Amino acid sequence: MKRRDLIRAGVLGGAVAALRPSVATAGQNAALSSELTPAQSGVDASKDLDAPGWKPLFLDAHQNETLIVLSDLIIPATDTPGAKEALVNRYIDLVLAAETRETQSAFLNSLGYVDGESIRRYKNAFLYLAREDQDDLLHSMAYPHNPSRWTGEAAAPDPGHTHFDALKRRIMTAYYSSQIGQKELGWDGAFAHGPYLGCEHPEGDHK
């Protein structure tokens, strides 16, 4: 199976965990609220993702471009649009802008690890590698080191696989949360619920 087929199979099997931005609580004071991003304040900014002149809220330009290339390699376009067309990078940036510092740092560490390995092996940042070198690097990180069959000892912790897996899960969740990804899973574009009509009883009569 191709990488994209494996990812789709994993999603259909329920392997993806939902990513939810943290929403500001009603009890926060005005000074704290003024420091929140729109997503943290409960503002639906999803419609702004495909707006002309879009700029990331959390990632810097290099990180954003690296994420675009990375997501395109993990879920490329085939007979249906891939992660790049689904604006996965923009969705992830929006979610991260509302996340805790710990979660933000973890993501940046994983993204930075890919760049660090790229520089170590190819003497250049991941973004500027040839496509085949980018793919080779990710392939080397996609699978964990197996335990030794000769000694029976467990393999040492594999940070490359850990960071790659974290990035892959973020990208998978973002992609299959988009309309493009939902349609690939079989959604026909129709919403399950109908229009909300409200209570039809006369005022004061709810028996």
Whether the Cβ atoms of residue 70 and residue 89 lie closer than 8 Å to each other? no
* Range with the poorest average pLDDT among 29-33, 62-66, 127-131: 29-33
N residues, the chain: 207
Q: Give the mean model confidence (pLDDT) for residues 90-101.
A: 93
Helices assigned H by DSSP within 75-125: 88-97, 101-122
pLDDT tens-place string over residues 135-171: 999 999 998 876 656 665 656 678 999 999 999 999 9
C-alpha 140, offset from chain centre: 21
At residue 134, the 3 state secondary structure works out as: helix
Counting beta carbons within 10 angstroms of the beta carbon of residue 87, is it exposed (0 to 12), middle (13 to 18) or buried (19 or more)? buried
Average pLDDT over residues 26-52: 59
pTM for the model stands at 0.69
Q: What is the pLDDT of residue 50?
A: 78
Find the mean pLDDT for residues 30-58.
Answer: 67
- From start to end of the chain, where are the E strands? none
Q: Assess whether pLDDT exceeds 60 at residue 34.
A: no
